[in-house]
Amino acid sequence: MLELRRVSKHYASIPAVDDVSFCARAGEVTGYLGPNGSGKSTTMKMITGLIERTAGAISFNGKPIQDDLIAYKRRLGYVPEEPNLYNHLSAVEYLTMVSQLRDLPAWESSQRIDGMLRIFGLHGDRHASISGYSKGMRQKVLLIAALLHNPDLILLDEPFSGLDVGSALVLRSLIQELAARGKVVLFSSHELDTVERVCSRVVILHHGKIVADDSIERLRSLMELPTLEAIFSQLAVEQDTESMARAIADLIHA
């Protein structure tokens, strides 16, 4: 189980994440939602150890992650929000490097890389430079890199970004399958439709604070709203979207 207790992150005096506490359990897919700039990716980066938190504690399976960060990282798979990869390498070279950095046995990792590249439809372009890859292809490389070592905790920050319909369907099923196999999956996305289908519970963040943390069914019944989109709009969208759209159209017509 991944547990965040009163976690905060301040940049200078500006709070990006403020007093956030929630749990993501094994066997469940936890959706982590929020508008742009609400602090989702900052939380993800704190969970990976990429950035230090200002306050609070993060623990995995009851142990604070900083107690043995290396052992924790061995069990962590992470797909970041932006598909930032070393563009001068090919997909095979990049994935081999990641497997070597993770100290995976050479033969086993080569088999896994080859197999996953085939399944994700990248095998034909595996020796091409990543600089030429589309956003979806890069996203697939990131997914493979995150899953290569069979992690127990999987953090997915906008994993559907740029994926074609077929790959998105595969990924949706894969997320559910991984959770069913006992992994802890924390999943952030703006595609509320997908979140509603995949996640068993959601945490909604607004201005760095948690405004909802419950199963989707309970939120629906508590708030008496039919969809996750409606719940999200009520909790985290401040603007009147229709009048904003009208204002933009008026501006370009002026």
Residues binding other proteins (CB under 8 A):
11-14, 48-52, 70, 73-74, 76, 78, 80, 82, 84-90, 92-93, 96-104, 106, 125-129, 132-134, 145
Strands 63-64 and 55-60: antiparallel
Q: Identify residue 91 by its one-letter amino acid code.
A: A
Query: What whole-number distance in Å separates Cα of residue 192 and Cα of residue 230?
Result: 10
Residue 117: burial class (beta carbons within 10 Å; 0-12, 13-18, 19+) = buried
Nearer to other proteins, 111 or 227 (CB): 111
Q: Cβ 10 to other proteins, closest distance in Å?
A: 9
The answer to whether 208 and 15 are in contact (CB under 8 A) is yes
Which residues neighbour 54 within 8 Å (Cβ) at sequence distance 6 or greater? 8, 9, 10
Give whichever of 50 and 237 is closer to other proteins, judged by the CB atom. Answer: 50
Tell the smallest beta-carbon distance from residue 233 to other proteins (Å). Answer: 28
CA distances 65 to 43, 57, 241, Å, are: 14, 8, 41
- In this structure, the number of other CB atoms found within 10 A of the CB of residue 183 comes to 21
* Structure tokens that stand for 23 in this block: 């749990």
CB 184 within 8 A of CB 156: no
Q: How far is the CB of 85 from other proteins (least distance, A)?
A: 5
Q: How far is the CB of 192 from other proteins (least distance, A)?
A: 27
What tokens were used for 49? Answer: 């150890």
Query: Which CB sits closer to other proteins, 106 or 245?
Result: 106
Kindly state the tokens that stand for 133.
């890859």
Give 115 or 215: the residue with its C-beta nearer to other proteins: 115
Q: By C-beta, is 141 or 203 nearer to other proteins?
A: 141
Q: Which is nearer to other proteins, 50 or 180 (CB)?
A: 50
In the complex, minimum distance from the CB of residue 165 to other proteins, in angstroms, rounded to a whole number: 20
